[in-house]
Amino acid sequence: MEERRVSSLQQAIQNLPTFQAPDALWQAIHHELDRPSSDQPLHQALHTLPDVIPPADLWDAISAELTFREKEAALHRTIRRLPQYEPPPLVWKEIQTTLTQTRLQRTLQLIKPYRWAAAAVLIGVSAGLAYLGNTSQPTITYLASTEQAPAGYSIEINDQDQDAIREIGAAFTAYHNQYNDPQGEELIQELNELESASKELRQVLRDYGFDEKLAQELTRVELQRDQVIRKMATAL
Amino acid sequence: MDALLKCLLTTLLGLCTISGFSQDTDLLQVVTKRINKEFAFKEGYEVNIDGDRAEVYIESWNQPLIRVQIDLVSKHESKSTAQNDLEFLQYIAQRVKNKIYLRNFLSVPDNQKAPDSRLKAVYHIKVPAECPVYLKTNYGLADVENLSNRLRINSRFTQVGLLNIKGWMDINTFFGELQGQHLDGNAAITSRRSDITLKDISGHFDINAQYGILNIFASTGLLDFNLQADHSQVFLHTPNLSNFQYTLSTQNSKLQLPSGMKFLIQETAPGVRKVTFRPKSEFYPNITINVRFGELFLGK
Amino acid sequence: MTESELIQACLRQDRLAQRALYERYSQAMYTLAYRITGDFELANDVLQEAFVKVFQHLERFRRESTLGAWIKTIVLRTAISKVKRQQTFEPEESIPADHALDWGDFIEAEYLQQAINSLPPGYRTVFILIEVEGYSHQEVADLLGISLGTSKSQLFYAKKRLREVLSKMH
């Protein structure tokens, strides 16, 4: 049975159709072979063109560009995540109104005798659309008033009175480094924290202007700092 | 010593001047940019506020809306200066997915002079009581009332006032002051150099305080109270003293206990004391306090 | 409906087709308008004016680009004209040789949006056009009527300002 199948296959293979190459093919091959020999030097020259060596600093430029892109990667990732915004419904209504008005203006020219009726329709449509409010966008208003400046308003906050503090702090730090007083470390940390708080509040008062409560807070901070300074001075 | 005297005199002078020794009576022009915005409230929404030199007033209402009014305020003797400087105050009032962001900040371009005017922002916010609120505020004031879900506050140099707050509270303060009344829930408070006054507190409280004065008035609803205080003065008042279990530890600190109650006092090391009291009832709330380098006063 | 059919219907003043075209592009164009102007009120005005122009001049659309690109050009020009008075471009300054700024590993998107909003209008426009919308410096120079060098230096200083504002926000 197997032998019969194989022989059937072989027979089928033998009976496969054959195909004739088109006549034009030989003509094309012939034409190619008969190409003028004057092209040869060109082909030879093309094969022997010299290699171009890139300039020495090209890699530096590529590397700099790659570094630049790496550093900007976080920025560009975040740009892709920037929020998108939906316009409020009123915008489309306004667009429709304007388009309707434009079309109406063109129509008015055609129906001039009836312009008053057309104007009444236009006013009615506009008023109806304007009535529809929109609460999803912020409303911004500007207000103006006057008030008496509080006492101490014109005080300038500067750092010139801080030199004495720094002097004592520096002296105590040197003392602590020499004698390694156990409570000294805590005092120095306290002074640093209170100094830093004082500087921060002074900067805020300069940036945002004088404020009574902040000034009181500054006073409180500096009183606490002065208590620390007193302890340091006593130890010295 | 000369330097110390100089420093003390300077601070004293500064105190006098700042507290009103000089009698300026200039008239200030006040220019305000008022922004009003509303957001629909849905379950899962939360409000995030970041106020810089801001006064923040938050209260609840029974509308499913979050109503925001932000006033950016500029004050100067000259109106045009006040108006120009107002432009340096920027704000954000936007919703991104389920979070509503409210923020103000100062933005002065490099090539422009720093503003001369007094600047601040004032927020008036109304939220549903169940709306979670996260508030970060520097150099200002915060007043929060009638919330009942989650409240987180992170404040620097700010006076914080809380009234009738329920639920979960997480409060961090640095300098400034914290005053709370009718607080009921799970509260975690961490403070450094802030004075704290809490009246009528119920539920569970965990407090970690450094360099402050703490006045705590517990109510009968207090279930658990843990306080770690360093370099602080602690005054704890409880209405029915003997209804609570106390575990009090002090290190290098003064301790004052109420008379008429038998506390067990153990001195475990020089300067270190442990004081305990257990009520006669079967169930009782716990008060655990540890004070180092400070004072602890317990009374009615 | 194909784009071609949509355009034809809009030209016939078909309201539904106009609405469909508007809705197809409104979010992207509104976002662009807001990013350029930095203000929702102005962005509303820009979107309204731009789409009115789109519908009024739709017959002039020559399909040399996509419809979206054509609409974007109109929106962009309208937005730029709105902020033109506020826009000042600093004179061309030299950019340091090592002009890469370090942005760290992660930036919150809403912080970046807020920082962009805080930029002066001139910086903001150049930054949005180049970094967000992908225009080249030459295209931006042509659009805004500035030199190529000014466009490059505006972008550098815009990024420098953004970096400063972002560092204060964290």
Task: Give the tens place of pLDDT for each residue, B86-112.
Answer: 988 999 898 888 889 999 998 887 777
Q: Which chains touch C (3 or more CB pairs under 8 A)?
A: A, B
As a whole number, mean pLDDT of residues C66-95 equals: 78
Q: Give the pLDDT score at A132.
A: 38
Residues B107 and B42 in one domain: yes
Distance of alpha carbon A192 from its chain centroid, rounded? 37
Q: Is C117 part of the contact surface with chain A (CB cutoff 8 Å)?
A: no
Final residue before a domain boundary, out of B112, B143, B174: B174
Q: Give the pLDDT score at C2.
A: 78
**Gap between the Cα atoms of B33 and B90, Å rounded:** 10
Task: Looking at the complex, report in whole angstroms how far the Cα of residue A22 sits from the nearest Cα belonging to chain C.
Answer: 44
Q: What is the DSSP letter of A231?
A: H
Residues B220 and B291 in one domain: yes
Q: Decide if A83 and C108 are in contact by the 8 Å CB cutoff.
A: no
Ordered DSSP codes for B160-196: EEEEEEEEEEEEEEESSEEEEEEEEEEEEEEEES-EE
Percent above pLDDT 90 for chain B: 66
Give the model's confidence band at A26: pLDDT under 50 very low, under 70 low, under 90 confident, else very high. Answer: low
Cβ-Cβ contacts under 8 Å, C90 against chain B = 111
pLDDT at A130 over 50: no
Residues C10 and C72 in one domain: yes
Task: Looking at the complex, report in whole angstroms how far the Cα of residue A98 sits from the nearest Cα belonging to chain C.
Answer: 7
Give the model's confidence band at B51: pLDDT under 50 very low, under 70 low, under 90 confident, else very high. Answer: very high
pLDDT digits 0-9 by tens, A192-225: 899 889 989 988 988 898 888 888 899 899 889 9
Give the model's confidence band at B129: pLDDT under 50 very low, under 70 low, under 90 confident, else very high. Answer: very high
pLDDT digits 0-9 by tens, C34-62: 899 888 888 888 998 899 999 888 888 88
Residues C59 and C10 in one domain: yes
Considering only A126-130, A159-163, C108-112, which range has the smallest mean pLDDT? A126-130
Q: Decide if A219 and B15 are in contact by the 8 Å CB cutoff.
A: yes
What is the rounded average pLDDT for all residues in chain B? 88
**Gap between the Cα atoms of B278 and B300, Å rounded:** 17
Task: Looking at the complex, report in whole angstroms how far the Cα of residue A214 sits from the nearest Cα belonging to chain C.
Answer: 21
As a whole number, mean pLDDT of residues C3-24 equals: 84
pTM over 0.80: no
Q: Give the pLDDT score at A159.
A: 62
Substitution target from A95, A135, A137 for chain C, most C beta carbons within 10 A: A95
Q: How many CA atoms lie within 13 A of A42 on its CB side?
A: 5
pLDDT at B147 over 90: yes
The neighbour count for residue C34, using CB atoms within 10 Å, is 24
Q: Give the pLDDT score at A4.
A: 53
Q: Is C59 part of the contact surface with chain A (CB cutoff 8 Å)?
A: no
Contact B253, B295 (CB under 8 A): yes
Task: Looking at the complex, report in whole angstroms how far the Cα of residue C120 sits from the nearest Cα belonging to chain B.
Answer: 8
Find, among A173, A101, A143, the residue nearest to B75 by Cα.
A143
Residues C65 and C124 in one domain: no
**Gap between the Cα atoms of B206 and B289, Å rounded:** 10
Cβ-Cβ contacts under 8 Å, B154 against chain C = none
Residue with the larger pLDDT of the pair A128 and B32: B32
Q: Which chains touch A (3 or more CB pairs under 8 A)?
A: B, C
Q: How many CA atoms lie within 13 A of B238 on its CB side?
A: 21
CA nearest to C160 within chain B? B110
Identify whether C89 is part of a domain: no
Give the model's confidence band at A28: pLDDT under 50 very low, under 70 low, under 90 confident, else very high. Answer: low
Residues B71 and B124 in one domain: yes
Contact B252, B199 (CB under 8 A): no
Identify whether B41 is part of a domain: yes
Identify whether C94 is part of a domain: no
Cβ-Cβ contacts under 8 Å, C22 against chain A = 92, 95
Domain that holds residue B57: 27-174
Contact A99, C14 (CB under 8 A): no
Cβ-Cβ contacts under 8 Å, A209 against chain B = 75, 115-119
Q: Residue C139 is part of a domain; what is its CATH number?
A: 1.10.10.10
Task: Looking at the complex, report in whole angstroms how far the Cα of residue A208 sits from the nearest Cα belonging to chain B.
Answer: 5
As a whole number, mean pLDDT of residues B124-129 equals: 97
Identify whether C74 is part of a domain: yes
| Number of domains observed in the structure of chain B | 2
Main-chain dihedrals φ then ψ at residue C49, nearest 5 degrees: -60, -40
Give the model's confidence band at B206: pLDDT under 50 very low, under 70 low, under 90 confident, else very high. Answer: very high
Measured CA to CA in angstroms, residue B105 lies from A218, B155, B157, B257, C117 at distances of 21, 16, 16, 48, 12
Q: Decide if A78 and C112 are in contact by the 8 Å CB cutoff.
A: yes
Identify whether C92 is part of a domain: no
pLDDT digits 0-9 by tens, C101-133: 777 777 777 788 888 888 888 899 999 999 998
Q: Decide if C40 and A137 are in contact by the 8 Å CB cutoff.
A: yes
Pick from B90, B96, B107: CB nearest C110: B96
Q: Give the pLDDT score at C83.
A: 83
CB pairs under 8 A between A and B: 156
pLDDT digits 0-9 by tens, A174-189: 888 777 766 788 888 8
| Number of domains observed in the structure of chain C | 2
Contact A226, B4 (CB under 8 A): no
Q: Give the pLDDT score at B18.
A: 45
As a whole number, mean pLDDT of residues B170-174 equals: 94
pLDDT at B22 over 50: no
